[in-house]
Amino acid sequence: MNLKDEFVRLFGEGGEIREYFAPGRVNLIGEHTDYNGGHVFPCALTIGTYACARRRTDRKLRFSSLNFPEAGILESSLDDREYRKELGFSNYPRGVIVTAAEQGYEADAGMDILYYGTIPNSSGLSSSASIEVLTGFIIKDLFGFDFDGITNAKIGQQAENRFIGVNCGIMDQFAIAMGKKDTAIFLNTATLRYQYAPLVLDGVKILIMNTNKKRGLGDSKYNERREECERALKDLQKAVDIKTLGDLDEEGFVLYSEMIRSQVCMKRARHAVFENRRTIRAAEALREGDLVKFGQLMNESHVSLRRDYEVTGLELDTLVEAAWEQEGVIGARMTGAGFGGCAVALVKERYLPVVMDAVGRTYRDKIGYDPTFYIAQTGDGPARIG
């Protein structure tokens, strides 16, 4: 498929058409910690979102996606800065354009943009953040704006928070905007200090296992979980001087947890605190080449997400628990927001066919349809490719 040919077919000839790419991401460990001031450990992927774009001579914005052909061309304007439900997926790039303008990066002309994503929708591999970061990169390139990858990530996050209405943290946009091949990013979401950690996985592959259960963050209990953590934090702040749950270690949580009035909020906070510390230990284990320890921490992460954060569900638990039973699996856990989407596993390469077959059969027998497997390849951040 030639994306530029499709662009011309939809939008017509004329002008300079530029082509771009931004990756998706998978988070190896550190789930639901990014909005709690904790650490995360994601990496960018080689699957992601492609786009062709050109400037217009008026203030029209026209968007289309080969992933949603039934939507046709969705048209709006630079002067319309409100979320419009009828404009579907285009609210994501519209939100980025509006947010960038509010921060001084205001486009002086409209655009035509055609998107094509290779990230499965609702998979938890950040298709929405990929579109957001890609759109930020497009307007930077088309209009000559001078902002870096971290600023692009912040614009994408704020667009999702304020325009889309999902109170996500910074991890997805940061991992995509700052992605680097053959590395994961060890990120402190409270300070945005980060380190690239080489992914030295000799004879081991990252296996992504898609439940194929559809979900939408805005429709899920994602925002509810964030509110529960915020209530726990307010209770804790009456007894201890902390700004985020990530400021506590395990001992501190045990000491002060009785301050949290709601049992449910206590469970949510316990996950956030312990998951943050797991992520710090996992990064250390990787630096030391201890993949067995890394895998154990992945397993513990999933148990906590199931028991305390309650975001796994039957489909994800079935995938992960089936993976745990297979020889050659070093560790496995859900990844992303949960409520469906994907799990991630570290698997010794020679066992991959057997693991995928066995996990697939178990899942199909219990759930009634097949999962999808992807052997992950790490990739770089957004780029102009044509």
Contact 61, 111 (CB under 8 A): yes
d(CA 303, CA 277): 15
Q: Rounded CA gap, 367 and 319, in Å?
A: 10
Q: Would residue 172 show up in a list of annotated catalytic residues for this protein?
A: yes
Angle at 116 between CA 27 and CA 49, to 5 degrees: 30
Q: What is 196-222 written as a DSSP string?
A: EEE---TTEEEEEEE------GGGTTH
Query: In this structure, what token pair is assigned to residue 167?
Result: 């109170």
User: Is 28 in contact with 41 (CB distance < 8 Å)?
Assistant: yes
- For 208, 333, 377, the CA distances from 360, given in Å and listed in that order, are 12, 16, 21
**Which one of the listed residues 34, 79, 112, 172 is annotated catalytic?**
172
CA distance 93 to 134: 9
51 SS3 class: strand
Q: Is the CB of residue 185 less than 8 Å from the CB of residue 43?
A: yes
Residue 216 CA to residue 263 CA, distance in Å, equals 27
Catalytic site positions: 172
